[in-house]
Structure 1
């Protein structure tokens, strides 16, 4: 797609007059000239005045316009954010009497509700402003590249543009501080609105710290990072690592930088086991937050994946001065264990457990001859409701994978007697680590999103499902920083590689409409497969239990069927009646049957229909019964007008072309049948009545094929224009043609066989004339034979 069209599709309508005027720049550049040096008589030579006009428009007019609008809009967003903080401040406790300035609960909720609406508007415009900066920055580079390619023999404008861009912050603005301020206010406003609301949940579901997690990993393109952040913070607050400053809405700490130091041996056994998904595969890492010079807490963590695809973790906390001694097996926490044993109050049991963890870690290091091999450095933004860990989301950006080994004796990356690279930690190097030698670092091009869910409420959250299937993310199951880093930096040392390496260079961005249609097709196919499986289980569909095999969705079969066919349609419900999580309501009992059936038929008919629907998913009978499978939840009614029908009719070109292509196929069949019938009729003689009759039959089928194709083409075109939810397929026509041709061919074979048998009999009778029997009559002779032989016999 040309950039001009991309720019037009990316324009945010309220800001349409403030984008780069790419068309004017192309006009000043005279893009359609054959040459620019006057060698072509039909073109005007490119002069100094033309160059000055183009540079003036690009550097001074368009760039200043875009930068001024970006700065002005950002300032307005900051002022609106400050205004929201001012409106929320009376709801907080004052410094003197620790009493809120506004005590009335209804008034507080009214203020919080109004602030939430304003925060939604600010968040949306922050996302659009980031897109605005990115598309305009690309436009300036495209225009400069086009100029240098066409007029670059004497004039080059790209170096001048790059110097000018470096002086303007419109494309390098960091929106993270503003996003964190919005997140704090989102969390505070939601807390105000939730006061007095009793949450209904499963009594067996723990709220904090218990139960296993389901983890889902995704890649996020750099262009979509801010949009993903703003989408999540509307539902979850940003988890602040330093809560000491959380009371001040204007000062929020930066996202922490996390370093993970992964261990392996020179043969990379741990890596090989992890790639091969071997049972009881383990990994070991050191992890800390921030710079080592600040003496942070360092954790040594061993993680083992069990046979049932769950993980078990062993972790101890170390001080920086004890790390080397612990890795060498010389430090065993003797003082800490002795102190725990002397404390009593159940601490002796904890001491034994702690001693086992220490012994397990040290024996694991010694047994596998482990040493630091790889460093992963990244910036993490975490989202979680305080005190509720059912939904935990982390977004890692600026991921750099750095070699930490000492495999090469002549040129080691790390000193053999050290446990980390001093050149990085002593100098407090930060991303992008420009001083690291080429070949020792790999910068991951995307952000990493990990969603951890625990409990049915978290798995059924609609906004989580929408995010996981949206165009903003690309699913990356089983992605590992350790595996990816070893595969890229130690490719000469290993012989197996992860499956996602082939997708690393491809563009993971997707069009929203394309992503939506792909998800609809996936859900529809999955629903049909599960219905077929359910029919063979004697009517017991696997929908009775959540689908845990899918890496994206976890909902029942009936839900997946309804979502697969009606996801663009939103059922209208009052906010107070909308359920907190989508659940399938039980189908109401009917007091009276719709029609009377016999006793034996009543038991057989449902099973027969289910098996027909499973064996022939495209048959109209199965599709007609599928619409009534999902009942709406309590309080939700069928909408009068679907959202998909509210706007103008927009049909993709491939839909029209598919309908026309099907019609052309039917015409092809009609022409083949008519040609066959015409040839058969001409080849048949006057006495070959069978061939002439079959030619007429084939002609009828040819006419039917043409008429059926035209009828279905018009019917489907009408349904597409009406945006009908009915199925576009129909198996009647193909079945008629196939069965009719099969019957005609069988009859043709039968008639031909009978005719051949008759001819054989006549030939045999002429070759073997009949003889007279004892009575003087011929054996099975024809009448003319009796006449010819009568005189001689008498």
Structure 2
């Protein structure tokens, strides 16, 4: 009964969040229509007055923390899991899997409410009342003017590093963590690692310049003896390597990331850890364009955790439009993750973005004139990631069969189904919706590079599914019948015979293609009847830039290219041996050279051609692998051409022998 009551409260919080969101959007639309119809510009004044009201500024994080505690008490029958909040990350017999997702702001509250039913909110200090700054995390990423660290992390080079300084809470926090991420390829047998050590804020500038030594930084730690000698030696080695990299590579503060993190995890159990980062902001920290931002300090002091940092100019900040969901699983080999996690990650509430990086995104967007190589997700930022519900998943009230998730239509709720006489006096839903959609499409949908924006503002583009649903971009190839099936005029009858022959020819070719053996894809069926449809939209990089597609190049790929070249080389030697043998059997006839001489010449040309082709192909493949270009390494024309040359050489040989007998 308590669990049902809490589920009812969770549904109330979800409804309240959606109610405030819809009302805020409604007020924005009303004033926008007013300015458009009257020609008066009241939106800035109204926006300032609206922002002064606390109606839509309610912070649900405190509610979620309280609900999480209550739900955890009920779920565990009054015996919540106890343990160190930071424990659980040192198991050696676990395989860690990390995936990242984007979450639309409309789905953030609902997603938090769903997760807290399975995992409690991770609170490091349960005796302290929750405050908003407790969730704030800030990081300063270092790089040089050549963006060496950015390019290494983007290309996933072996040993690529990311160095950052991180602190939790407000600017008054005196403990700074110096962290280093190192990427390791799978073929090395090692795992990518993240290591860090603490440093006092007053010593950061001196440490980064080499004036504050590693021995001084760990002198107090050695004196207190809270860590073992081995641990301190490992931390000292890490500190020396970080200090050496900063000084030799001339690394400086480049990008700051700020976000509020809500973590879900059982204390002392790191098998499932889920974190949701909201209000992500990326800020420039460099002085490379002549503008003093951080100056000689390791971070700029004109901002703190006062999101949305309205005091900054637009060129200095990138406000990320989505939340970042990170799911970390530590499961034993062969063990499946929990069913609710699989259901969550495959739902309409999240959009998978593999290998997303805050540092890479911030550098690519804040330095548009310096960065030429872009991450693969950057051109897709204008696409609306909201999706229709593929299966029944969302916040539900107890004993209620109808979902009330944010993606459901209002007409599908039980209240609308149970209403009676009031609906007769209103405009029919279909007609009203049709009028509103047409009006929004005419007045609000604007196109950028031929892509329509989503009605209702927000700056999001319609994706392929939404555009197909609105009836735009209708192709002639999507018609369901041909004109020949209609009434045929006398003019059409004269062309009927060629058309019948064309159809017979096409049908025969289609049957032959079906009979021919070739790989066939497997149709995957899901809850959504349109799940099998694949929507493809080509993306182009801006002029002078390239989109980097993550390509894994392992050593065995290089070895495969070498083996292929050696196979071609062996083929060339065999053909040249045949040519030499034929040349030894040639004799001079009265009418001229023996015909076998021409056969030997044909085999020689084939051997030389195959050798040159193999060398050129090998050099091309090695270059593409070094550049990590997404090209096809299979070859379908070269073998066919060389086999054709072999056939010609053999035919010349037979022709020569036949002519000699004649």
TM range (shorter): 0.5 to 0.7
Structure 1 match to 2:567: none
Aligned length: 416
Measured after TM superposition, the shift of residue 407 of structure 1 is: 1.4
In structure 2, runs of 5+ residues without a counterpart are 82-87, 394-468, 508-526, 533-662
Secondary structure of the residue that 2:313 maps to in structure 1? coil
Task: Return the alpha-carbon distance in structure 2 between the equivalents of residues 663 and 435 of structure 1.
Answer: 57
| CA gap 1:188/1:439 in 2 versus in 1, 3 angstroms | same
Aligned match of 2:68 in 161, 183, 187?
Answer: 183
Matches within 5 A, 1:9-48: none
Structure 1 match to 2:122: 239
1:686-713 Cα distance to aligned partner (Å, 9 max, x none):
xxxxxxxx99xx9xx9xxxxxxxxxxxx
Structure 2 match to 1:550: none
| CA gap 1:300/1:157 in 2 versus in 1, 3 angstroms | closer
Which is greater in Rg?
1
Contact 2:180 2:196 in 1 (8 A): yes
Measured after TM superposition, the shift of residue 169 of structure 1 is: 3.3
Task: Return the alpha-carbon distance in structure 1 between the equivalents of residues 220 and 46 of structure 2.
Answer: 66
Measured after TM superposition, the shift of residue 349 of structure 1 is: 3.3
Task: Return the alpha-carbon distance in structure 1 between the equivalents of residues 367 and 45 of structure 2.
Answer: 40
Matches within 5 A, 1:576-615: none
Structure 2 match to 1:461: 338
| CA gap 1:138/1:494 in 2 versus in 1, 3 angstroms | closer
Aligned match of 2:258 in 355, 370, 377?
Answer: 377
Task: Return the alpha-carbon distance in structure 1 between the equivalents of residues 353 and 18 of structure 2.
Answer: 25
Structure 2 match to 1:276: 155
Secondary structure of the residue that 1:314 maps to in structure 2? strand
Matches within 5 A, 1:239-638: 239-245=122-128, 251-254=129-132, 255-295=134-174, 297-308=175-186, 310-334=191-215, 347-408=228-289, 410-415=290-295, 417-424=296-303, 428=304, 430-456=306-332, 459-513=336-390
Measured after TM superposition, the shift of residue 331 of structure 1 is: 2.7
| CA gap 1:167/1:287 in 2 versus in 1, 3 angstroms | closer
Secondary structure of the residue that 1:293 maps to in structure 2? coil
Measured after TM superposition, the shift of residue 165 of structure 1 is: 3.8
Task: Return the alpha-carbon distance in structure 1 between the equivalents of residues 483 and 281 of structure 2.
Answer: 57
In structure 1, runs of 5+ residues without a counterpart are 1-113, 197-205, 246-250, 517-651, 682-693, 702-722, 729-794
Secondary structure of the residue that 1:497 maps to in structure 2? strand
What value does the CA root-mean-square deviation take over the aligned residues? 4.2
Structure 2 match to 1:131: 18
| CA gap 1:157/1:392 in 2 versus in 1, 3 angstroms | same
Structure 2-normalised TM-score? 0.55
| CA gap 1:168/1:368 in 2 versus in 1, 3 angstroms | closer
Contact 1:240 1:253 in 2 (8 A): no
Matches within 5 A, 1:632-671: 664=481, 668=485
Secondary structure of the residue that 2:347 maps to in structure 1? coil
Structure 1-normalised TM-score? 0.47
Measured after TM superposition, the shift of residue 244 of structure 1 is: 2.2
Matches within 5 A, 1:764-779: none
Secondary structure of the residue that 2:185 maps to in structure 1? coil
Instruction: Determine which structure has the larger helix proportion and give its number.
Output: 1
Contact 2:170 2:305 in 1 (8 A): no
Task: Return the alpha-carbon distance in structure 2 between the equivalents of residues 160 and 368 of structure 1.
Answer: 49
Contact 2:347 2:390 in 1 (8 A): no
Contact 2:347 2:391 in 1 (8 A): no
Matches within 5 A, 1:113-192: 114-150=1-37, 152=38, 162=47, 165-166=50-51, 168-192=53-77
| CA gap 1:664/1:172 in 2 versus in 1, 3 angstroms | same
Task: Return the alpha-carbon distance in structure 1 between the equivalents of residues 345 and 158 of structure 2.
Answer: 29
Task: Return the alpha-carbon distance in structure 2 between the equivalents of residues 394 and 351 of structure 1.
Answer: 29
User: Higher relative CO (CA 8 A, sep ≥ 6), structure 1 or 2?
Assistant: 2
Task: Return the alpha-carbon distance in structure 2 between the equivalents of residues 130 and 421 of structure 1.
Answer: 35
Task: Return the alpha-carbon distance in structure 2 between the equivalents of residues 663 and 512 of structure 1.
Answer: 28
Contact 1:208 1:388 in 2 (8 A): no
Matches within 5 A, 1:700-711: none
Measured after TM superposition, the shift of residue 485 of structure 1 is: 0.8
Contact 1:208 1:389 in 2 (8 A): no
1:422-480 Cα distance to aligned partner (Å, 9 max, x none):
333xxx45111122233111111111111111105984312111211211111111111
Matches within 5 A, 1:42-121: 114-121=1-8
Task: Return the alpha-carbon distance in structure 1 between the equivalents of residues 91 and 147 of structure 2.
Answer: 34
Task: Return the alpha-carbon distance in structure 2 between the equivalents of residues 515 and 474 of structure 1.
Answer: 17
Secondary structure of the residue that 1:512 maps to in structure 2? coil
Task: Return the alpha-carbon distance in structure 2 between the equivalents of residues 320 and 177 of structure 1.
Answer: 29
Task: Return the alpha-carbon distance in structure 2 between the equivalents of residues 509 and 222 of structure 1.
Answer: 10
| CA gap 1:272/1:140 in 2 versus in 1, 3 angstroms | same
Task: Return the alpha-carbon distance in structure 2 between the equivalents of residues 458 and 227 of structure 1.
Answer: 28
Secondary structure of the residue that 1:135 maps to in structure 2? helix
